[in-house]
Amino acid sequence: MKPVPTFRLRTLSVAVALASAAAVPVVYAQESSVNLETVEVTAESAGLYGYSDAEREPSVGKLDVPLAEQPYSMSVIDQEFIQDSGAKNIQDALLYTPGVYAGNFGFDTRGDSAKVRGLDAGRYLDGLRQVYGSYNTVRTNVYALESVEVLRGPSSMLYGQADLGGIINGVSKLPQEERSGEVWAQYGSYDRKQLALDVTGAADEEGEFLYRLVALTRDSDTQVDHVEDDGYLFAPSFTWRPSDATNITLLLNRQENKGQVSAQFLPQAGTLESGSLGFIGSERFVGEPGWDRYDREKIETTLFVDHQLNDSWAFAATARYTDSSTETREHWVDIPSVPDANGNVNRTIFMADAQTRILNMDARLEGEFALGNTQHTLVAGIDRQDARWSQDNYSSVASGGGQFNVYNPQYGNLQLDSLNPTDRPDNEIEQVGVYLADHIEVGPVVVSAGLRRDWAENRTLALSGPDTVSDEGETTGRLGLMYRFDNGFSPYVSYSEAFAMILLSKTALAMALLRAASSKWVPWSMAGSYR
């Protein structure tokens, strides 16, 4: 534990000038000394700077090591900042995070869009991958989260095949022993109404059983006409502590969102520049009220097990099953498109039903020990992910939605005859990985190293004929070096690897290989942090 800083007010010599009030050419001054009592001031929050807590141990790194002690680029957006910033979703919460560009499509009801270091980032919840495919699950409600963590850069050593930009990990609210609760209401722009509840505490006097209930309901319009953003969240959790060394927590999550797609893909002519009849309002809805919809629901069950084996070693495991589905019916302006002299454009009509089933787990052994002059924090683990996502009733017809006037919308021109829905091939991921990471401290020097081996299979299940399969093993690693100066400045250098499997037909694969020599990315990074 770092020493707590102490500040002292020392004895001061005070010069007191005595001057005559009369208008005389000479000013007389007398100097005296005043002895003040020594006062000690102790800081209670060492390492806390605004919303940044340097002593916090982010779970995204899978090591019980404070944020400021790790030679990797990470950020933690805590619940206090989420509340103070008025973030309505994870995308809003990330707006002020270094190295993160959130809001690729502005306000979007479909999902939380974000780039980390200009690249895609994987979406995780409680350390387990959450998003497979696209637009086939409910975006996590930020009210159900204790914090949002960002790990910048490749992270395959910790999570297997992963997006190159990094990891965005949500940390769920779980039961606390201290009893507390809140009822929260909100009214905002576009007639946004929300009512939320968060209560937690011990269910018995001994504190063997803990509970927490997080719930929210929302009724809201958006900046786009005829587009709602309604939904609810119901997330009870229960903790059983059979002994002082063991915690077993079960988290249930039922979430449903109903509305429409807010992204209308309005043409450049009329938005960024004047069109044939001037500018188009940002509130313009180009779909068909009553038919367009984007309804999402999910049921999620997560199990957490933590057991302290002894003073130095602990076992932790997380497992989650998710069943989610979406129903999409929408129109958008054909891309590219320019309104004619009357303001008419052609519309694309689209429909799809998507479903995702996910079973993920991660189990690890964590320990702290001394070896000579070195202090070690070691983690060894195994994880597995099984996911299958499908897309049925798929149909996308450019110009099949008929003509639409973007300046003077007239609804009621629904052309269902142009749709020819079909089922698309299902996709599967199966992956097993084993990993070992060691955080080593030698005085002011920190060395962090890790190695991982994955066996992964990505498969497209053909509707007819053979499946398309990518099956391979991959070894990835990372290495970080940091020096901690006494003034809190900690420069570091790090090396990390990532891999992403290509799942294409033989023809498409050959074309992809012409565009990219390898799917493995190996970057170096150099940075410094100030605690």
Residue at 174 is within a domain = yes
pLDDT digits (tens, 9 = 90+) for 476-511: 999 999 999 998 889 999 999 988 876 554 444 444
How large is the average pLDDT for residues 86-115? Answer: 84
Look at residue 194 and tell me if it is in a domain.
yes
Distance from the first to the final alpha carbon of the chain: 15
The pLDDT of residue 148: 94
pLDDT tens-place string over residues 165-210:
899 999 999 999 999 999 999 999 999 999 999 999 999 988 899 9
Cβ–Cβ < 8 Å for 124, 148 = no
Q: Across residues 39-53, what is the average pLDDT?
A: 58
What is the average pLDDT value for the chain, to the nearest integer? 85
- Which residues form the domain of 305? 6-530
Q: Is residue 304 part of a domain?
A: yes
Q: Is the pLDDT of residue 212 over 60?
A: yes
Which position has the higher pLDDT, 459 or 20?
Answer: 459
The CA distance from 94 to 97, in Å, is 5
Residue 263: band (very low, low, confident or very high) from pLDDT cuts 50, 70, 90: confident
State how far the Cα of 503 lies from the Cα of 518, in Å rounded to an integer. 14
Q: Is residue 34 part of a domain?
A: yes
pLDDT at 198: 97
Among the residues of 50-138, which ranges form H helices?
A: 79-85, 90-93
In a domain? residue 436: yes
Indicate whether 1 belongs to any domain: no
Chain segment 360-384, per-residue pLDDT in tens: 999 999 999 999 999 999 999 999 9
Q: What value does the mean pLDDT take over residues 432-451?
A: 95
Q: What is the pLDDT of residue 2?
A: 42
In tens, the pLDDT along 116-148 reads 988 888 899 999 999 888 888 888 999 999 999
Q: By mean pLDDT, which of 204-218, 296-310, 393-407, 455-469 is the weakest?
A: 455-469
CA pair distance 71, 77, nearest whole angstrom:
19
Average pLDDT over residues 326-346: 94
Altogether, the residues listed in the chain come to a count of 531
| Domain count along the chain | 1
* pLDDT value of residue 505: 44
Pairing verdict, β 468-483 and 145-152: unpaired
Three-state SS annotation for 341-371:
CCCEEEEEEEEEEEEEEEEEEEEEEEEEEEE
Q: Tell me the mean pLDDT in the region 389-412.
A: 94
Q: Give the CATH number, domain containing residue 53.
A: 2.40.170.20
Ramachandran bin of 203, using left for φ above 0, alpha for ψ from -120 to 50, beta for the remaining angles: alpha
Residue 196 within a domain: yes
Give the residue from 358, 426, 418, 351 showing the smallest Cα distance to 386.
358
Q: Say if 445 falls within a structural domain.
A: yes
